[in-house]
Structure 1
C-alpha cells in the first residue's frame, strides 16, 4: 500500500492538470460555435449544482452554506461563482485558449504573494521572489503580440485583461479559503448552489444563444464545465494534496499550459506564435522555480 499510494497521487495530479488544461480549449470551442459566456456559465452551475445537491443535503448544516455561514458563503460565491465564470469564458471569446492557461495560473502566485505581504507583512523567500519575477517577465513576453494589437491577435488584449482579473479573484479566494479553514468540497457545493438564483439575472441581462447551437455542444459544455471541472477535478486535486502534500501538488500546475497548448493545436488548430512560445517557456520555468521554493526565507 505504501508503494502504490504515491502513484495514486501522481495519477490524480496528472488527471487534474489535463482537465484544467483542456478546460480553456472547451471554453474557446464554445465561443467559436456561437455560445456566449452566459450560456457556458448557466450550463456549468446548473449541472454542478445538480450533481452536488444530494451531497449538500446530506452533509451541509445549515443548508446550503454549511460551516461557512451565510456571509462567508456569499463572499465565496461572488469570488468563484458566476462572475468568475463570465470573466474566464469571456476571455476566451477574445483570446486564444492558451492565453488563459498562461496568464491566470501564472499570476495567481504573484497576486497571492502580493496580497499576503499587504495584509500580513510576510515576505516571500528570495528564490520564490526570483521565480515570481520570472513569471511576470514571461507573461510580458507572452502578451507582447496581444498588447501590440498584432494582426494575428487584434482583440486578445481584452481577453488577457479578463484573465488578469480571474487570477486576482482566485488569489483572494485562495487566501480566504485558507484563513476560514473550509473544505474545498464544501466551498464548491455552496458556491454552485448559491449561484443558481443568480443565473436568472444573468439570463435576463446577458445574451443567451443556447437554442441556436447543436444540442451536442450543450451536453459537452454541461458535462465538461459542470461535472469534470466543477466536481471531478476538485476531488482529484484534493486527493493529490492528501496523498502528496500541498507543496508537491503545486508542481503539477506548470503542466496546465502545456496541456492547453497541445489540445489547442490538435482540436482548434490554434498555434502559439514564436513570441508566445518563448513567453510560455519562461512562465513555466518561473512557476517551477516559485513552486519549489520556500514561501518565506
Structure 2
C-alpha cells in the first residue's frame, strides 16, 4: 500500500483526518469492551451466546471484506501475480491465511466473547490491553529474536504487576466457587492469540487491509458452515434462529463492521498520521476509558485492586512505548493492523 490519501479524504488536512481516525478508533475499542460485556453477561438476560456473537461478527465482516478480497485477487491475477491468494478470496497465500486467521480471526473472537460471560468489563479493561504488549514482546523475542531493552522490561514489569493485581486475586476464588478467574484466564488467552497474529503479521510484513481480509476469510470458511450445521441440528445451544433480527443486525454491524472493518481502517489512518509510537500512546487511553464506561454504564464496581491494576497497566504501556521509540524514517504503512488490540 502507498501513503497516498483516499480521494474522499483529500479535501481534509492530514491532521484533521488523523485526529478523527484516532477518536473513532478509541471509541470503537472502548465500546467493544462495554458492549461485549453487556451482550454476554448472564445477569442482563442477553439471548445470544458468545459463539452466536462471534458468528454475527464474522458474517458482518464477510459482507464487506470478502467481495473486496475477491476484487484484490482479481487485480493481482490481472497483473500476472499467481499463487498469492487462497480460494480466490483471501489476497494472501493459503499457509499465511490459515495461520493468521486461526489466531486473529477465529480463536481471538471465541475466547474474548466467552470471557465476558464470567468476568466484568473492568477486568477486561486491564487484562486484554495489558496482556497484549506482554505476550507480543515475549513471542517476538522467541520467534523474531527481538531484544527487550531494560527500559522496555521495566514497562512490561509494570504490566505484569497490574495483571497480577487483577487476575492474580481472582485466582484466589478458585477454591471458593467463584468463576471470575475463568473469564480472566480467557481474557489473557485471547490477548495471547492476538499477539500471535500480531507477530505473524510482522514476520510476514503483511499489508493491513489484506491481512484483515485474510483472517476474515479463514474465519468464514472454518467457522460459519460448521457452526450453522451444529446450530440447526441442536448440537450446540444457539439462539441464532430464535433471537430478534434487530439483535443479530446490531451485533453484525457493530462487531463486524465496526470492530473489524472500520476500526481497522481508522487505526491504519491513525498510524499513518501519528506514527506507531504516538498511536500506541493514544490507544493507551482505552483501558481507562473502558473501565470508566463500565462503572458508569454497567454499574460495575471499581475496587482498589482494579484501580491500581489499571494505573500500572496504562503506565506500563506508556513507559514501554516511549522506551521503544522507533526510527521516524521507518516505513509504517505495512503492519498497522497487527498492533490492533481491542476489537
Fold match (TM-score > 0.5): yes
Matching of residue 207 in structure 1 with residue 237 in structure 2: yes
Please name the residue that 2:133 is paired with: 109
Q: TM-score, normalised by structure 2?
A: 0.80
| Equivalence for 2:15 | 6
Q: Deviations over 1:105-141 (max 9, x none)?
A: 1111111221222234432122111011001001111
Check conservation: 1:92, 1:159, Cα contact below 8 A: yes
Q: How far did 1:228 drift?
A: 0.5
Name the residue aligned to 2:250: 220
> Structure 1 residues 157 and 276, CA, compared in 2 at 3 Å: closer, same or farther?
same
CA distance in 2, matches of 1:10, 1:150: 44
Q: 1:234 aligns with which of 260, 264, 286?
A: 264
Query: For residue 129 of structure 1, what is the aligned residue in structure 2?
Result: 153
Q: Offset at 1:178?
A: 1.2
Separation of aligned partners in 1, 2:225 and 2:240: 14
How far has the Cα of 1:6 moved from its partner? 3.0
CA contact (8 A) 2:126 2:162 kept: no
| 210-219 vs 102-111, which moves further | 210-219
Q: Are 1:78 and 2:106 an aligned pair? A: no
Q: Aligned in 2, Cα 1:151/1:4: closer, same or farther, shift over 3 Å?
A: farther
Distance 1:228 1:124, change over 3 A: same
Cα offset, 1:194, TM superposition: 2.5
CA shift for structure 1 position 73: 0.7
Instruction: Tell me, yes or no, if structure 1 residue 258 matches structure 2 residue 288.
Output: yes
Instruction: Please tell me whether residue 278 in structure 1 is matched to residue 308 in structure 2.
Output: yes
The answer (yes or no) to whether the contact 2:144–2:203 under 8 Å persists in 1 is no
SS of equivalent to 1:245? helix
C-alpha displacement of 1:211: 3.9
The structure that is helix-richer by fraction is 1
Instruction: Please state if 1:22 is matched with 2:46.
Output: no
Corresponding residue for residue 336 of structure 2: none
1 CA distance for matches of 2:150 and 2:295?
37
Describe the shift of the 1:6–1:127 C-alpha distance in structure 2 as closer, same or farther (beyond 3 A).
Answer: farther
Match in the other structure for 1:161? 185
Q: Give the SS at the match of 2:89.
A: coil
8 Å contact kept, 1:128–1:293: yes
CA distance in 2, matches of 1:95, 1:212: 26
Preserved CA contact (<8 Å) 1:21 1:260: yes
Q: Sort the Cα spacing of 1:158 and 1:280 in 2 relative to 1 into closer, same or farther, 3 A.
A: same
Count of aligned pairs: 294
* Greater relative contact order structure (CA < 8 Å, 6+ sep): 1
CA contact (8 A) 1:146 1:153 kept: no
Q: TM-score, normalised by structure 1?
A: 0.91
| Offset at residue 153 of structure 1 (A) | 9.7
CA displacement 1:12-49 (0-9 Å, x = unmatched): 12321110111011111221313111100110001100
Question: Counterpart of 1:93?
Answer: 117
Q: For residues 166 and 223 of structure 1, do their structure 2 counterparts lie closer, same or farther at Cα, with a shift above 3 Å needed?
A: same
SS at match of 1:182: coil
